[in-house]
Amino acid sequence: MSSVSFRRLEKSYGSLRIVKGIDLEIADREFVVLVGPSGCGKSTTLRMLAGLESISGGEIRIGEKVVNKLPPRERDIAMVFQDYALYPHKTVYENMAFSLKVRGVAADEIKARITQAAEMLGIGQLLERRPSQLSGGQRQRVAMGRAIVRRPQVFLFDEPLSNLDAKLRGQVRTEIKRLHQAIGTTIIYVTHDQVEAMTLADRIVILKGGEIEQVGTPDEVYNSPASIFVGGFIGSPAMNFAKGVVQSGEIVFDGGEHLPLHRNGAGKANGLEGREVVVGIRPEHFVSAGEGQPLSGRVQVVEPLGSDTLIHFALGSATLTARVAPEMRPQPGEILSIGVDPSRIHLFDAATERALN
Ligand X SMILES: Nc1ncnc2c1ncn2[C@@H]1O[C@H](COP(=O)(O)OP(=O)(O)OP(=O)(O)O)[C@@H](O)[C@H]1O
Task: List contacts with ligand X (CB under 6 A).
Answer: 13, 18, 36, 38-44, 192
Residue 34: which residues within 8 A CB-CB, separation 6 or more? 42, 45, 46, 188, 189, 190, 191, 205, 207
Stretch that binds Mg ion, among 38-46, 109-117, 279-287, 304-312 (CB under 5 A): 38-46
Instruction: Using alpha carbons only, give the angle 138, 144, 149 rounded to the nearest 5 degrees.
Output: 125
CB-wise, 44 or 138, nearer to ligand X?
44
Inter-residue contact 244 to 268 (CB < 8 Å)? no
Q: Which lies closer to ligand X via its Cβ, residue 36 or residue 131?
A: 36
Asked whether position 45 contacts Mg ion by CB under 5 A, the answer is no
Q: Any contact of residue 309 with Mg ion (CB under 5 A)?
A: no
Dihedral angle computed from the Cα positions of residues 226, 228, 232 and 234, in that order, rounded to the nearest 10 degrees: -10
Long-range contact pairs involving 48-54 (C-beta distance under 8 Å, separation at least 24):
48/9, 48/11, 48/19, 49/4, 49/6, 49/75, 49/77, 49/154, 49/156, 49/188, 50/75, 50/77, 50/79, 50/156, 51/75, 51/77, 52/79, 53/11
Q: To the nearest whole angstrom, how small is the minimum distance from the Cβ of residue 163 to Mg ion?
A: 13
Of 82 and 300, which has the nearer Cβ to ligand X? 82
Say whether residue 43 binds Mg ion (CB under 5 A): yes
> Considering the rule CB under 5 A, would residue 191 count as an interface residue with Mg ion?
no
CB of 215 to Mg ion, least distance (A): 19
**Residue 13 site contact among ligand X, Mg ion, none (CB < 5 to 8 Å, cut-off depends on kind):** ligand X
Question: Closest CB to Mg ion belongs to which residue?
Answer: 43
* 29 interface partner picked from Mg ion, ligand X, none, CB below 5 to 8 A per type: none
Q: Which is nearer to ligand X, 41 or 225 (CB)?
A: 41
Residue 18 interacting partner from Mg ion, ligand X, none (CB closer than 5 to 8 Å by kind): ligand X
Provide the residue type at 67 as one letter: V
Closest distance of CB 193 from ligand X, Å: 10
Beta-strand relationship, 186-191 and 31-35:
parallel
- Contacts with Mg ion by CB under 5 A lie at 43
